[in-house]
Amino acid sequence: MIAWTIYLTLAGALLALLLPRILARWVALVATAGGFGLGLAALFAQHTDFAHFTTIVRVPWVPALGMNYHLAADGISLTMTLVTGLTALAAVLFSWKVENRPNEFFFWLLLVVAGSYGVFLSADLFLFFVFYELVIVPKYFLIAIWGSTNKEYGAMKLTLYSFLGGALVFIGILVAYVTAGTLDLLQLTQFQFAPQLQAWAFPVLFLGFAVLGGIWPFHTWAPTGHVAAPTAGSMLLAGIVMKLGAYGALRVALNLFPLGFQMWSKWIAVLAVIGIVYAAAVALRQNDLKFVIGYSSVSHMGFVLLGLATANVLGVSGAVLQMFSHGVIGALLFALAGAVYYRTHTRNLNDLSLMGLSRTMPFITFAFVVASAASMGIPGFSGFAAEITILIGAWKTFPLAVGITGLGMVLVAAFTLRALKKSFFGDQTGGRVRQETRVPNGAATLAEKLGASLLICATLAVGLYPKLLLDRIMPAVETMRFLHR
Partner 1 sequence: MSYLELLRLAAPEAIVVLTAFVVLTIGLVTGRREAGDTPAATAGLGALVAALGLAIAAATIVRLPGHATLFHGMLVVSPLNSLFQVIVLVLAFFTVILARGERLLPNKGEYLAMILLATVGLMLLIGSEELLMIFIGLELTGLSLYVMTAFDKASQTSAEAGLKYFLFGSMASAFTLFGLSLIYGFTGTTSLAAIGPRLAEQALPPLLFVGIVMTLIGFLFKIAAAPFHLWAPDAYQGAPVSTAGFIASGSKVASFIVLGKILLIGFGPVSGSADWHGLIAGWTPILAVLSALSILIGNLVALVQKNVRRLLAYSAVAHGGYTLLGLIAGGRAGFSATLFYTTIYAVTLVGAFGVVGFVRRENGGDDLADFAGLRARSPLLAGCMAIFLLSLAGLPPLAGFFGKFYLFSTALRAGANHGLLWLVALALFGSLISLYYYLIVLKVIFLDENAQATPAVARYDFEMRADYLPKMTLLVLAGAVLLLGIIPGTLVARILASFG
Q: Does 120 bind partner 1 (CB under 8 A)?
A: no
Pick from 178, 217, 399, 430 the residue near partner 1 by CB under 8 A. 178
Q: How far is the CB of 167 from partner 1 (least distance, A)?
A: 4
**Residue 341 phi, psi dihedral angles, 5° rounding:** -65, -40
Q: Does 177 bind partner 1 (CB under 8 A)?
A: yes
**Best CA proximity match to 134, nearest among 154, 167, 112:** 112
Q: Does 23 bind partner 1 (CB under 8 A)?
A: no
Q: Hey, which residues between 346 and 385 contact partner 1 (CB under 8 A)?
A: none
CA angle, 225 as apex, 451 and 165 as ends, to 5°? 110
Q: Hey, which residues between 24 and 83 contact partner 1 (CB under 8 A)?
A: 61-65, 67
Q: Does 141 bind partner 1 (CB under 8 A)?
A: yes
Considering the complex, state which of residue 170 and residue 425 has its C-beta at the smaller distance from partner 1: 170
CA angle, 230 as apex, 226 and 235 as ends, to 5°? 60
Q: How far is the CB of 91 from partner 1 (least distance, A)?
A: 21
Give whole-number Cα distances, 463 to 295, 298, 383, 395, 467, in Å.
23, 21, 7, 21, 9
Name the one range near partner 1 by CB under 8 A: 36-44, 162-170, 362-370, 418-426: 162-170
Q: How far is the CB of 12 from partner 1 (least distance, A)?
A: 17
Q: How far is the CB of 13 from partner 1 (least distance, A)?
A: 12
Considering the complex, state which of residue 63 and residue 440 has its C-beta at the smaller distance from partner 1: 63
Pick from 14, 57, 174, 446 the residue near partner 1 by CB under 8 A. 174
Would you tell me how many other CB atoms lie within 10 Å of the CB of residue 82? Answer: 28
Q: Does 218 bind partner 1 (CB under 8 A)?
A: no
Q: Report the C-alpha gap between 344 and 346 in whole angstroms.
A: 5
Pick from 96, 163, 342, 366 the residue near partner 1 by CB under 8 A. 163
Q: Does 156 bind partner 1 (CB under 8 A)?
A: yes
Q: How far is the CB of 184 from partner 1 (least distance, A)?
A: 15
Q: Does 160 bind partner 1 (CB under 8 A)?
A: yes
Judged by CB under 8 A, the number of residues near partner 1 is 31
Name the one range near partner 1 by CB under 8 A: 167-175, 214-222, 332-340, 437-445: 167-175
Q: How far is the CB of 197 from partner 1 (least distance, A)?
A: 8
Q: How far is the CB of 52 from partner 1 (least distance, A)?
A: 28
Q: Does 175 bind partner 1 (CB under 8 A)?
A: yes
Residue 55's DSSP bridge partners are 72
Q: How far is the CB of 316 from partner 1 (least distance, A)?
A: 29
Considering the complex, state which of residue 174 and residue 446 has its C-beta at the smaller distance from partner 1: 174
Q: How far is the CB of 9 from partner 1 (least distance, A)?
A: 14
Pick from 130, 270, 388, 392 the residue near partner 1 by CB under 8 A. 130
Considering the complex, state which of residue 141 and residue 398 has its C-beta at the smaller distance from partner 1: 141
Considering the complex, state which of residue 157 and residue 422 has its C-beta at the smaller distance from partner 1: 157
Name the one range near partner 1 by CB under 8 A: 90-98, 136-144, 210-218, 232-240: 136-144
Q: How far is the CB of 163 from partner 1 (least distance, A)?
A: 5
Measured in whole angstroms, the distance separating CA 272 from the mean position of its chain's CA atoms is 16
Q: Which three-class secondary structure string do you get for the chain?
A: CCCHHHHHHHHHHHHHHHCCHHHHHHHHHHHHHHHHHHHHHHHCCCCCCCCCCEEEEEEEEEHHHCEEEEEEECHHHHHHHHHHHHHHHHHHHHCCCCCCCHHHHHHHHHHHHHHHHHHHHECEHHHHHHHHHHCHHHHHHHHHHHCCCCHHHHHHHHHHHHHHHHHHHHHHHHHHHHHHCCCEHHHHCCCCCCHHHHHHHHHHHHHHHHHHHCCCCCCCHHHHHHHHCCHHHHHHHHHHHHHHHHHHHHHHHHHHCHHHHHHHHHHHHHHHHHHHHHHHHHHHCCCEHHHHHHHHHHHHHHHHHHHHHHCCHHHHHHHHHHHHHHHHHHHHHHHHHHHHHHHHCCCEHHHHHCCCHHHHCHHHHHHHHHHHHHHHCCCCCHHHHHHHHHHHHHHHHCHHHHHHHHHHHHHHHHHHHHHHHHHHCCCCCHHHCCHHHCCCCCCCCHHHHHHHHHHHHHHHHHHHCCHHHHHHHHHHHHCCCCCCC
Handedness of CA 241, 137, 23, 445 (dihedral sign): positive
Name the one range near partner 1 by CB under 8 A: 153-161, 241-249, 298-306, 410-418: 153-161
Pick from 7, 44, 97, 152 the residue near partner 1 by CB under 8 A. 152
Q: How far is the CB of 151 from partner 1 (least distance, A)?
A: 9
Considering the complex, state which of residue 22 and residue 64 has its C-beta at the smaller distance from partner 1: 64
Q: How far is the CB of 187 from partner 1 (least distance, A)?
A: 17
Q: Does 153 bind partner 1 (CB under 8 A)?
A: no
**In the complex, which residues of this chain contact partner 1 (CB under 8 A)?**
61-65, 67, 126, 129-131, 133-134, 136-137, 140-141, 144-145, 152, 156, 159-160, 163-164, 167, 170-171, 174-175, 177-178
